[in-house]
Copies of this chain bind each other. A is one copy, B any other.
Amino acid sequence: MKPKLINSIEEMSVIRKQLKGKIGFVPTMGFLHEGHLSLVKEAKKKTDVVIVSIFVNPTQFSANEDLSTYPRNIERDIELLTNLEVDYIFFPTNEQMYPDDFKTWVNVDKITQVLCGKSRPTHFRGVTTIVAKLINIIDPDLIFMGEKDFQQLVVLKQMIKDLNFRTDIVGCSIVREKDGLALSSRNKYLSSSGRKKALCLNKSLLLAQKLYNEGLTSSNEIISQMTNLIENNECIIDYIEVFDPKTLEHIPELVGGCRIALAVIVENTRLIDNIKIV
């Protein structure tokens, strides 16, 4: 059966009140790929009713970013979600989500200032604000999000805990192409040679794990070798960071369970990826 399409907050709220059982929610910006679909599949397994939102959230883009060109294909998204037997697709308008007199923001301190927050200083404020709104509209028992945006996951878990939202986030593993490239809607921007260069993100993370397996633990030394690998592929590093997965604080020596994340500009496209060191 085709999912019910809902494009008004009002209608979503009315429908939500009538829903019974455990509600699973997958927030997306559309242009769905297997990464998103893995979240939907996980939601189908763990909850009774699955709601997917499609909303390209303007407040998480800064003025110099790719809001206007961000890829969209709502028809294809609906088809993919129909195949997975999603129950509801919520795709509100900008005007409804951010009316002219909108003036409320949710801010998480500290952990939004590091990693991606350094080069995208207002990004997480947009993410936390839209997710707070979506939580209130959809009232989900569980929210399913990918670990590719690892910092986003940590920031949103902090928000949910601090503001006592009655929901929880399930983090799901990164989905990759066969050659290792992490799926991202932004991969679409890459030329075929850029597509090959972009493999350096995952390769450098695998190199870090290999170096750690061989006994190297110095974060600086490992980051240095990752840097060489990436720069040899003509890509520009925004950051590479070794950190504690709970606090997102830099750690000088790798330990099992720590994370390494990076943002790299390939052609004109900023891509991110990360790995849990085991």
Contact = CB atoms under 8 A, between A and B. Distances in A.
Contacts of A159: 104
Number of copies of chain A assembled together: 2
A162 B102 contact: yes
A191 B188 CA distance: 72
Contact of A105 (B107, B133, B166): B107
A42 interface: no
Contacts of A1: none
Q: Which secondary structure dominates chain A's binding surface?
A: mixed
A105 B158 CA distance: 11
A110 B100 CA distance: 13
Interface of A: 9, 13, 101-111, 128-129, 132-133, 136-137, 139, 158-159, 162-166
25 contacts: A9-B164, A101-B158, A102-B162, A103-B108, A103-B109, A103-B110, A103-B111, A103-B158, A104-B106, A104-B107, A104-B108, A104-B158, A104-B159, A104-B163, A105-B107, A105-B109, A106-B107, A107-B107, A129-B163, A133-B162, A133-B164, A136-B164, A136-B166, A137-B164, A139-B166
> Top 4 closest A-B pairs, CB basis?
A104-B162, A103-B109, A136-B164, A133-B164
